[in-house]
Amino acid sequence: MKALIAPCYYPAFSCIADRCKNNCCIGWEIDIDPKTYKNYQMLSGALGKRMETALSLEGGTPHFKLDAKERCPFLAENGLCEIISELGEGALCNICKDHPRFRNHYSGAIEIGLGLCCEEAARLILTQTEKMHLISLDSKEEQYNEEERILLSFRNELFEILQNRCIPFHSRINQIADRGRLILPSPSRYLSILKETERMDPSFNRTLDQIICEKWPIFHAKDWELPMEQLAIYFLYRHISGALEDGFLRERIAFVLLSTLTIATITMQQADCDFPLELLIDTARIYSSEIEYSDRNLEMILSSLRLS
């Protein structure tokens, strides 16, 4: 068994279910793993009957058919999951059990994290005041091969730069760009790349269209610095390991910085106060859902950054 590593805030997460304003059971088509699918097919009674009409095999993978309002057929009006209410959490399919967690696999360790597309995870991440550090969830010793060790040591160096609270956040961004030998594209160039990506919610394109910005923001207000640091650390922790597979290391560093700056830019342009924390959390959630949760979007952005 591989060692399980997570950010220090990870154990504090719990789904807020019926209090969630952007429930993940709305708008996402959830694939059901083969074991759970078999269990669902064997259900009898009223729930078994409902299951027959609620599941679809269209496209080859079993999934829940969303209703006209894009809701999971088992999401009750009160925001609770009827599968959990009737059968307990153990009856959920793997994706529902796991969301909003993500995992990055190494030769002798798994890094787990909370995805920013979940509003409660976004709130937890962006309101941390402690510098993010990694913890072991199972006290097992991590093992890495040489290539992984080099990448993770480089990531630690970038973590240290991003968490250097003795200098302003925009200086830390500049230092990371220098360390990655990057010249970041202008806001208009990056926004034009984002506009080419596929959409879950078309209103995000309208948001992008409304952004008028010549230069990336500088954070004069101290309130912005902590969430910006946490955001950049989140993207770095989540996305840098992909370079082991695709070799897009510098592009991934650029993506980390550009994602952080874009979320700040969108928030600042829509804000009606100096530091709109709730708006920042919501913008981060939307950006995450629209951009980083689509493999196709991420690939397209990384390729575009390589050409620019």
**Residues forming the site for ligand SF4 (CB under 6 A):** 15-17, 20, 22-24, 99-100, 118-120
Round to whole Å and give the CA distance between 48 and 50: 5
Nearer Cβ to ligand SF4 (51/72): 72
Give helix 249-270 / helix 295-307 axis angle, nearest 10°: 110
Residue type, 93: C
Largest distance between two CA atoms of the chain: 63
The residue among 125, 108, 102, 96 whose CA lies nearest residue 30 is 96
**Residues with Cβ within 8 Å of residue 162, at least 6 apart in sequence:** 172, 176, 229, 232, 233, 236
Nearer Cβ to ligand SF4 (23/197): 23
Nearer Cβ to ligand SF4 (118/263): 118
Nearer Cβ to ligand SF4 (28/216): 28
**Shortest Cβ 19–ligand SF4 spacing (Å):** 8
Q: Residue 306: CA atoms inside 13 Å, Cβ hemisphere, count?
A: 11
**Shortest Cβ 86–ligand SF4 spacing (Å):** 18
**Shortest Cβ 18–ligand SF4 spacing (Å):** 8
The CB density around residue 12, as the number of other CB atoms within 10 Å, is: 10
Nearer Cβ to ligand SF4 (21/215): 21
**Residues with Cβ within 8 Å of residue 99, at least 6 apart in sequence:** 24, 115, 118
Round to whole Å and give the CA distance between 22 and 19: 9
**Shortest Cβ 178–ligand SF4 spacing (Å):** 36
**Shortest Cβ 17–ligand SF4 spacing (Å):** 6
**Shortest Cβ 79–ligand SF4 spacing (Å):** 8
Nearer Cβ to ligand SF4 (97/199): 97
